Amino acid sequence: MDEVMNKDYLIYKLSDKVKSACRIPLESFQKNNVKRGLRNDDGSGVLVGLTNIGNVVGYERDADGHLQPTEGKLFYRGYEVNDLVRPLMAEKRFGFEEIAFLLLSGDLPDKEELAAFSELLNDNMPLDHRTIVHIIDLEGSNIMNILARCVLEMYTFDINPDDISRDNLMRQSIELIAKFPTIIAYAYNIYRHSVHGRSLNIRHPREKLSLAENFLYMIKDDYTELDARMLDLLLIIQAEHGGGNNSTFTVRVTSSTRTDTYSSIAAGIGSLKGPLHGGANIKVINMFHHLKEVIQDWTNKDELDTYLNRMLNKQAYDNAGLIYGIGHAVYTISDPRAVALKKLAGELAKEKGRLDEYEFLKLIEEEGIKCISAFRNTKKPISANLDFYSGFIYEMIGLPEEIYTPIFAMARIVGWTAHRIEELNFEGQRIIRPAYKALQEQRDYKPIKDR
């Protein structure tokens, strides 16, 4: 056996040993009262912190402490998101900057504050030339990884990177919010050039444009006003989701160690990249494309149900037994973000001439919920989540799937930085350090000659 084969065999042997080393019986969790995934037995999240920033409401508790499903609600600093979005839609104006100000500061801005804040974001959108060169050097890499590496690189350009005073945290937060769109746009344009042989266009952000408009300008230039407003609303809806979502909790955990802002945000990006978190919208749109091909009659419920049940039985599509985009850890009757996006998708589909696809997607949602409920034999309400319609909206705007998850990060950086500032400034702050119970029994050491 040659040297390479010896190394391969060693890796296989180590991996095989891990099978038993990682084995923890499911009943051990119940026996030791351990909350897997920080989830209680009733599905609710284990309470691990307090926040003034966001609130996710998907159920209520009755007098006996049992969960009762309710229409989903999402609050930013005490405001229901629909109450923030509704006037923006009615007035046909951009609002992501306004919501970013709210989440960072705790209050909605007046006209003068909003104008100054928007100008400050615009001033900070251009990248250091060294960052641009770095992005070019990373051509072809995953854009979420490029984003994380660029964030870490910002540490070296910051004149005071380790200062965790409020003023410095706010400065860093604003710079990150402003630079995310530019990093993502440049990274995609270089990816498109190196992988697909397209012409390389690097457009600098323009003054007087909203963040959403600037991003579309840097990505593709040919966008409609409705495209930009839809992206703006998508950013608003994805900007924050309470302290318990995986990536925000990651930011809070790392922030509690008092590490620098860039290390903490890079960790949040790594969390969001996962397909069970921010990468789920790609799963949905790919499933949608597949169903468009295999279902002959997009209005035939019986044909669709038959195929969805085959998917649930791991006999079709990717054999994962899942209908992507259906169900949420907190929301029950409805996900308010999905409700809003469903309406937005309808408006955009009408402009783009894709109403037949929109109606089919709605049917998949309706029948998917029914099929999952029957398959699981449960009466517990199930609803579509944010990811169910977001990918379709991105696609209609003309955005490539390589940047779906980076756009999520572009929105969520607002929530991340707001939670980091809160984590480092509330009374009684201490490092987040939960406990794990060890199941391995103590063993006696054997000299290497006796093993």
Residues catalogued as catalytic? 277, 328, 387
Burial (0-12, 13-18, 19+ Cβ within 10 Å), 302: exposed
Cα 148 to Cα 143: distance, rounded to the nearest angstrom: 9
- Given strand 54-61, what is the order of strands in its sheet? 54-61, 67-76, 79-80
β partners of residue 79:
76
For residues 147-181, one letter each, b for 16 or more C-beta atoms within 10 angstroms of the residue's C-beta and e for the rest, the string is bbbbbebbeeebeeeeebeeebbebbbbbbbbbbb
Cα 294 to Cα 306: distance, rounded to the nearest angstrom: 12
Q: Determine the 3-state secondary structure of 68 from DSSP.
A: strand
Cα 241 to Cα 54: distance, rounded to the nearest angstrom: 6
Residue written as token pair 């990177």: 161
Cα 105 to Cα 118: distance, rounded to the nearest angstrom: 14
Helix (H), strand (E), coil (C) string for 143-198: HHHHHHHHHHHHHHHCCCCCCCCHHHHHHHHHHHHHHHHHHHHHHHHHHHHHHHCC
Q: Extract the tokens encoding 116.
A: 């100054």
DSSP label of 55:
E
